[in-house]
Every structure is written in structure tokens, then in C-alpha cells.
Structure 1
Amino acid sequence: MQLARNMVVAMANSVVVVLINLIALPFYLRFLGMEAYGLIGFYATLQTVFQVFDLGLAPTVSREVARGIEIGRRRRSASLLRTLGVVYIGAAIAILMLTTFSATWIGEHWLQAKSLPRTTVTQAVMLMGVNLACRWPISLYHGGLIGAHHLARSAATSMAVNICAAITTIAVLAWSVRSIQAFFVVQAAFGLVQVIVLRMFARRAVGECDAPYDFGDLKRVWHFSAWMGGVAITGLLVSQLDKIVLSRMVSLESFAHYMLAALLVSGLQIFTVPAFNTLYPKFSALIARGDIVALEHLYGSATKLFAIALFALAFGVVFQTRPLVTLWLGNASVAAEIAPVSAWLAVGSALNGIMYFPYCLQLASGQPRLAFAIAVGLLIVIIPTVLLLAMWLGTLGGALGWAAVNMFYMVVGTWVTGKKVMAFAGWPGLLRNVGIPVLATFVPALIGALICRMLAVGPWTSLGIGGIAALSGLALGIGGSFSPSEFRRVVAMALGRPAPAQ
């Protein structure tokens, strides 16, 4: 029951966070303007890029806590969590100093603001550093809760904090100080609250609250963590290179449009992040136990379910972006501009989402070096691809580059995982677990889009047809991927019940 509960609550958290961002966006645009929202988009990129300072410690903590609970070494995991808390505080201070010292240069030479004063942009960048520092330890304590199979507590905290932060920010902008600086101050305060709450939950979940600090124990996990740090650095560069390049090459307003498209596509994370956070500790525990049969069954079943849900949503975004954005922002011209960008970003993100499962298997099996090698290969491919396409096509080029690189990732990464980690995760498994879900969800989505075009329906009707097409794709995908008895066994496994007899 715990596996299903963690997945459901984590998915609920992703849905809530995405909905909050989508609902709050029109208010931010109204109170702050498009260029100021470009700064918020730049902060989101900066937040992701600075994850390189994590050095792979958060996933290391997840793996160590999960293994510690499985083999009865809980106290050592508690000591590691407490020790890393000090390390994260030091990293937060370093991030604050680095951002503060570089704020003037970023405001004057990197961001292409037209209407916002340079002083406003510089102050906003400085406050981004404060925000990053306040939120920095979140990943550590979130990782500890994942490893202890208490993802629900982290998700509930995230939902509560994000809802309160959005409401407070909108209220401050509406009735008090209407500035981008006020936005970042409120967000920083709620980030600090989230850290305090998560720290309390993580220490309770891991137990052994009196465990000592042990900086010498860092040597034990340093090898895994160092490789994970390399994976984090290269992986973040791969995922954020399009945004980094475009923030320099296009105007702040065009970059804001690109970030609007990215925000819309971020809805796909309602499946990817919860799936990884739920299955990573489970994979680690099964490998530590040596139960490869159960691992293969869980991997295949979870991949099929995930692919069905992910591609049903992704193809909905691809074919229904324009009516969705028109209703969301009430601006048909902006919708027309970001529709093709959103479509290609959705394709790339769906392909990237499928690769969470091989990546999860690589880490759980203790092979971060393999994940690092794949990430380096992707970085070598994406740099010239995104640069050339962005220079040629602007924001659309950035989206095309993201889709092309993730197609390459799916082909090469799957082959390498099947060759070096587990044979069941190779190309035959990809075709078996993903091929049917892609076809089953694509065909109804395409038919729905053609019907909308032929009948020239309005936005609401178009979304209704798209929703019916997505539900049809889900039904076809489940029916084509699972027999009734197999699907009942999968549901029983997720709920922690004995599997029904065949």
C-alpha cells in the first residue's frame, strides 16, 4: 500500500504545483509585466543550473537511507543525513555570495531587458541568490524522506507551502508592493519555512535523532556521490542549455514566451518526478535483496503504465496547445507564437521522461559512472545542435534541439542500459513496454486534432475533444499492454496486496 500511496501523493503534489503555477501566471503577468516574468523564468533556469552544487548528494542520501533501512543500518544513515545538513548550509552561503557578486554583470551584460531599469534587474538577481540559499537544503531532506519511503510527507509539505506562497505573493502584489523584488522576498520566506518543516520530518523518518556528526563517513559515499555530481552537472547542462542559450540570444520578452511554453510542458512532470522518487528507493531495495525477478516485473509494469499516462498527456499538449493557451492567457497572438514551441518541447520532454526508468535502474544498481558517460555524450550532441538551431530559428530552434537530443538519448541510453545493467531494460524491452502505449495514445490524439480542424470548433470544444481523445488513448493503451489478470496483479502489487492467482 505504501508504494501506491507514495505515488498518488507525489503525483498530487506535482499536479498541485503545476496548477498553482498555471493559475498564478496571469496574475504575475498582470501585476509585473512580461519582462518581469522573464526574470522569473531566468530564476527558474538559475535554480536548476545551481543544482550542480548538490554534487549528487541528494540521490546519494536517498540510496543510503533506503539501503540502511533494508539491511538494518539506520543509525549510520541518520548520521549521514545530519552531517550533510552542515555541508548544505555551507553550499547555500557560497551560492548567495556568488549570485550577489555576479548580479551586476548579469543585469547589465547577459539579460536583454528593454523596459525594466538595470537597477531593478540587478536587485532581482541578488534576491534570486537569497531565494536559492533559503531553499537549498530542500533537496537534502526531500531525498532523505524518499529513501525512508515517506515521500507523502514531503509532497504534502510542498503542496501546503506552494499554495500559501502563491496566495501570499499575489496578495502582496495586488494590495501592497507591486514589484519583482517583492515577489522574490515572499518566495524566499516560504522556501525557508519548507526547509525547516522538511528537516523535522526527515530526521523523524530516518530515526536515531541523537546520531553524531561524522564527517569521516562522507568518504564512504564519496565515490558514488562524486559520480552522481558529474551526472548532475552534465545532466543539468543538457536540460537547461536551450534556456541558457536563448536567455542570451533573444529578447527578454521572447525568452518569457519560451518559458511560458516550458511552464505549460512542465505539466508532464506530474508523472516523471513522482515515478522516479517512488521507484528509485524500491529498485535500490530489490537490488540490495537480490530479487531480480521482482525487479524485472516492477520495471516492465511501471514503464508501461507510465508510458501510457505520459504520452496521453504529451500528445494532448502537442495537438491542443493553441486552444489551451488561448483560454489560459486570453491572448490568441501569444498562443499562436508559443504553440509550435510547446509542441516540440512536449515531444522532447516525453522522450526524456521515458528514460527516467533506465536512469533509475543505473543509479539503483550502483553504476553512476554509466549515467555520467551517457550524460557527457548527450552534452556533446546538444551543444552544437541547440546553438545552430537557435541561431537559425530562435526559440523554435531551442525546442527542436531539445526534441532531437532526447530522441538520441532514448535510442543510445536504452541500448547501453540493456548492455551494461540489466538485459530486460534494452531495446526489446523498450519496444515491448513503450511501443504500444505510444501508438495507442497517438492515434486518438491525431484523430481528435483532425476533427477539430475540419469542424473549425472553438477552444472549449477543441479541448473537450482532446480530452476524450486522451481518455481513449489511456483505455487503448491499458487494453493493449495488459491482459485483465496481469493488470489486476499490477494493481495488487501497487497496493501491497497478495497477487491474485492467474
Structure 2
Amino acid sequence: MRLARNMAAGMANSVVVVLINLIALPFYLRFLGMEAYGLIGFYATLQTVLQVLDLGLAPTVSREIAHGAETGQQRRSASLLRTLGVVYVGVAVAIAAIVASIAPWIGAHWLQAKALPDAAVAQAVALMGVNLACRWPISLYHGALVGAHRLARSAATSMTINICAAFTTIAVLAWGVRSIQAFFVVQAGFGLLQAIVLHVLARRAVGERGAPYDFGDLKRVWHFSAWMGGVAIGGLLLTQVDKLVLSRTLDLATFGHYVLATLVVSGLQVLTTPLFSALFPKFSALFARGDIVSLEYLYDAGTRLFATALFALAFLLVFQAGALLDIWLRNPALSADVAPLVAWLAIGMSLTGIMYFPYTLQLAAGKPRLAFFTTLVLLLVMLPLVILLAMRFGALGGAWAWAILGVLYVLLGTWLTGRKVMAFAGWPWLTRNVAVPLMATLLPALLGAWISRTLAVGPWVAAGIGGLAALAGIGLGVAGTFAPREFRRVIDMALGRPTPAGHGLS
């Protein structure tokens, strides 16, 4: 039951966060302008890049707490969490100081602002550092709650605070100080509040009270954490290299278009983010038990369900991006510029999204070096690829690079996982559990796109046709990959009901 509850809570949180961003964006554009929104996009990139300083400790804490619950070593896990809390506070202070010191250079020499003065940009960048520092411990305590199978508590906190932060920010911009500096001040306050609340919840879930500080215990987890740190560094560079290159080569307004497209495609994280948070501790626990039968069943059945939903949503964005943007932005010229970016980014993000299953399996098996090697190869391909395509085709080149990278990741990641971790995660997994849902969702999406273009319907009708095509694709995907009795068994498994022997995965 915890698996289903955690997945539902994580998905609800992802939906709420995406909806908040989508609803708030028109207000931010109206009150701040496109250049200021480009600064918000740069902040998101900076936030992601600086996650390399986490050194893989947050997922390490998740794995340690999940293992501790299975092996009766909760107190050692609690001690580790308390010790890392001190480390994270020190890193937060360092982040604020470093970003503030380089803010003038970024404002004058990196960001290509035209309407905003350099001083205002530098102030905004400095406030980004404060915001990052306030939010820095969130990942640690979220990871602790994930490992303790308390994702629902973290999700509820995130939803509540993000809603309050969005409404407060809009109110301040509308009736108070209409500046990008005010935006970051409000966001920093709510980020600090979220970190404090998650800290309290994590202490209660893990039982940190009374656990000693033990900095020597960091040596025990350092091997796994070091490799995870390498994965984090490579992964963050991989996911942000397009934005870093484009923020340097494009004017700030055009870069804002690319950021807007990535925001739309982030809707796919409604599925991918809660997937990892729910499955990582579950996979880790199954490895700790040695229950490979249940692990394989969860891996295969989970992939089929996830791939069907992910590809259906991705193809809706690919083929109906223009209609959806017209409805949302009410700006045909802007929609026309952003729609091709959304389509190509959606292809790339859906392919990388399905690889959360091999990635999670590698980490749960205690083999982060495979994830590091894969990330390193992808980064070595992505960096020259995005530079060449961006220099030649601008923002569209960055989106094309993601689509190409997605194909490479699927092929390389599947081969490595099947060869080095579990044989059931190799090529048979790709052909049986990924290819079938992909085709089942693609055919209705193509038909819906053809009908919309042939009849030249308006954006609302086109979006409706796209939605019906996505639902039809989900139906075909489920019917094509599950027998009725097996599908009922998967539902029972997710809800924690009794299942046949070997499939008890509550």
C-alpha cells in the first residue's frame, strides 16, 4: 500500500508544481517582462548546476535509510542524517557567498540583457544565491523521507508551500514591488520555510532525536556517495549544458523562449519524478532481501504501465504543442516560435524518462559506477553536439540535441544494465516493455494529428482530439501489454492487496 500511496502523492505533487508554474507564468511575463523571465530561467539552470555540490549524498541517505529499515540499523541511519544536516548548512552558506561574489561579473559579461541594467541583473543574481542557500537542505530531508517511505509527507509539504509561494509572489508583484529582486526575496523566504518543515518531518520519520553526530560514519558511505557525486555532476552538466550554451549564444529574450519550452516539457516530470522517489527505496529493499523474483516482476510490469502513460503524454505535446500553447499563452506569434522546441524536447525527455528504470536498478544494486560511465559517455556526446547545433540552428538546435541524446541513452543504458546488473533488464526489456507501449500510443497520436490538420480545426478542438488520442493510446498500451488477470494483479500489488506468491510488493 505504501508504494501506491507514495506514487500517488509524488504524482500529485508533480502535477501541482507544474500547474502552479504554468498558471503563474503569464503573470510573471506581464509584471516582469521576457528578459526578467529569462533571469528566472537562468536561476533554474544555476540551481540545477550547483546540485553537484550535493556529491550524491541525498540519494545515499535514501538508500541507507531504506536498508536500515530492512536490517534493523535505524539508529545508524539517524546518526548519518543528523551529521549530514551540519554539512548541508555549511554548503548553503558557501553557496550564498560564492554566487554573491561572482554576481557582478555574470550581470556584466555572461547574461545578454538589453532592457535591464547590469546593476539590476547583478542584484538579481546575488539574490539567486540567497535563494539557493535557503533551499539547499531540502534535497537531504526529502531524500530521508523517501528512504523512510514517507514521500507523501514531503509531497504534501511541497504542494502547500509552493502554492503559497506562487500566490504571494504574484500578489507582491501586482500590488507591491514590481521587480525581479522582489521575486527572488519572496521565493527565498518560502524555500527556507520548506527546508525547516522537512527537517522536522525527517527527524520524526527516521528517529533522529538522540542520535549522535558521527562524522567518521561518512567514510562508510563515501564509496557509494562518491560515485553518486560523479553521476550528479555529469547528470547536471548533461541536463543543463544546452541552457548554458544557449544563454551565452542567444539574446535573453530568445533564451526565454527556450526556457518556456522546457517549462512546458517539464510536465513529463509529473510521471518521472515520483517514479524514482517511490521505486528507489523499494528496489533497494528488494535487493537487501534478495527477492529477485519480485524485483523482476515489479521492474517489468512497472515499465509497461509507466511507458504507456509517459509516451501518451509525450506524443500529445509533440503533435499538439501549437494548439496547447495557443490556448495557454494567447499569443500566436510566441506559440509559433515555441511549439517546435516543445515537440523535439518532448521526444528527448520521454526517451530519457523511460531510462529511470535502468538507472534506479543500477543504484539500488549498489552499482553507481555504471550510471556514472553512462552519464560520462552521454556528456561527451552532448557537449559538442549542442554547441554545433546551437551555433547553426539556435534554440532549435538545442532541442534536436536532446532528441538525439535520448536515442543514444536508451541503447547504451539498456545494454549496460542487462549486461552488468540483471539480465532481465537488457534487450528483452526494451523490445517487450518499451517498444510495444511506444507503438500503441504513437498510432492514435498520429491519427489525431492528421485529423486536426486535415480539418483545420481550432486550438481547443485540436487539443481535445489530442487528448482523446492520448487516452486511446493508453487503452491500447494496457490492452497490448497486460492480460486482464495480470493487470488486476498489478493493481492489487500497487494497492497492497494479497497477491500470488513471489509478488508481494506492498
TM-score, normalising length from structure 1?
Answer: 0.99
Unaligned 5+ segments in structure 1 are none
Q: Which residue is equivalent to 1:94?
A: 94
Q: Which residue is equivalent to 2:325?
A: 325
Any residues of structure 2 matched to 1:192-211 within 5 Å, and which? 192-211=192-211
Residues 66 and 285 in structure 1, CA contact (< 8 A), matched pair in contact too: yes
Aligned: 1:231 with 2:231: yes
Distance (whole Å) between structure 2 residues aligned to residue 155 and residue 357 of structure 1: 21
The one-letter code sitting in structure 2 at the alignment partner of 1:40 is I
Residues 141 and 198 in structure 2, CA contact (< 8 A), matched pair in contact too: yes
Q: Which residue is equivalent to 1:256?
A: 256
Q: Which residue is equivalent to 2:282?
A: 282
The one-letter code sitting in structure 2 at the alignment partner of 1:4 is A
Residues 74 and 208 in structure 1, CA contact (< 8 A), matched pair in contact too: no
Q: Which residue is equivalent to 1:76?
A: 76
Unaligned 5+ segments in structure 2 are none
Q: Which residue is equivalent to 2:423?
A: 423
Aligned CA-pair RMSD? 0.9
The one-letter code sitting in structure 2 at the alignment partner of 1:21 is N
Residues 79-101 of structure 1: CA distance to partner in whole angstroms, max 9, x if unpaired? Answer: 00000000001111111111011
Q: Which residue is equivalent to 2:377?
A: 377
Distance (whole Å) between structure 2 residues aligned to residue 7 and residue 400 of structure 1: 31
Secondary structure at 2:178 match in 1: coil
- Report how far residue 139 of structure 1 moved: 0.1
Residues 172 and 178 in structure 2, CA contact (< 8 A), matched pair in contact too: yes
Q: Which residue is equivalent to 1:478?
A: 478
Any residues of structure 2 matched to 1:49-198 within 5 Å, and which? 49-198=49-198
Residues 80-132 of structure 1: CA distance to partner in whole angstroms, max 9, x if unpaired? Answer: 00000000011111111110111011101110001111111000000000000
- Report how far residue 500 of structure 1 moved: 6.1
- Report how far residue 387 of structure 1 moved: 0.5
Residues 82 and 208 in structure 2, CA contact (< 8 A), matched pair in contact too: no
- Report how far residue 165 of structure 1 moved: 0.1
Aligned: 1:394 with 2:428: no
Aligned: 1:496 with 2:500: no
Distance (whole Å) between structure 1 residues aligned to residue 325 and residue 111 of structure 2: 26
Aligned: 1:356 with 2:356: yes
- Report how far residue 208 of structure 1 moved: 4.2
Any residues of structure 2 matched to 1:5-20 within 5 Å, and which? 5-20=5-20
Distance (whole Å) between structure 2 residues aligned to residue 383 and residue 47 of structure 1: 20
Distance (whole Å) between structure 2 residues aligned to residue 443 and residue 317 of structure 1: 15
Residues 492 and 500 in structure 1, CA contact (< 8 A), matched pair in contact too: no
Distance (whole Å) between structure 1 residues aligned to residue 423 and residue 465 of structure 2: 40
Q: Which residue is equivalent to 1:46?
A: 46
Distance (whole Å) between structure 1 residues aligned to residue 173 and residue 414 of structure 2: 47
Q: Which residue is equivalent to 1:25?
A: 25
Distance (whole Å) between structure 2 residues aligned to residue 344 and residue 242 of structure 1: 13
Distance (whole Å) between structure 2 residues aligned to residue 65 and residue 359 of structure 1: 19
Aligned: 1:293 with 2:276: no
Aligned length: 502
Aligned: 1:463 with 2:472: no
- Report how far residue 247 of structure 1 moved: 0.4
Residues 172-193 of structure 1: CA distance to partner in whole angstroms, max 9, x if unpaired? Answer: 0000000000000000000000
Percent identity reads: 70
Residues 385-439 of structure 1: CA distance to partner in whole angstroms, max 9, x if unpaired? Answer: 1000000100000000011112101101110110000001111111110111100
Distance (whole Å) between structure 2 residues aligned to residue 264 and residue 394 of structure 1: 19
- Report how far residue 6 of structure 1 moved: 0.5
Residues 418 and 425 in structure 2, CA contact (< 8 A), matched pair in contact too: yes
The one-letter code sitting in structure 1 at the alignment partner of 2:236 is L
Secondary structure at 2:457 match in 1: coil
Residues 81 and 208 in structure 2, CA contact (< 8 A), matched pair in contact too: no
Residues 25-84 of structure 1: CA distance to partner in whole angstroms, max 9, x if unpaired? Answer: 000000000000000000000000000000000000000000001100000000000000
Q: Which residue is equivalent to 1:452?
A: 452
The one-letter code sitting in structure 2 at the alignment partner of 1:229 is G
Distance (whole Å) between structure 2 residues aligned to residue 12 and residue 229 of structure 1: 29
Residues 309-352 of structure 1: CA distance to partner in whole angstroms, max 9, x if unpaired? Answer: 00000000000100111111110011101111110100000001
- Report how far residue 370 of structure 1 moved: 1.0
Residues 184-235 of structure 1: CA distance to partner in whole angstroms, max 9, x if unpaired? Answer: 0000000000000000000100114110110000000001000000000001
Runs of 4+ in 1 over 6 A off after TM superposition: none
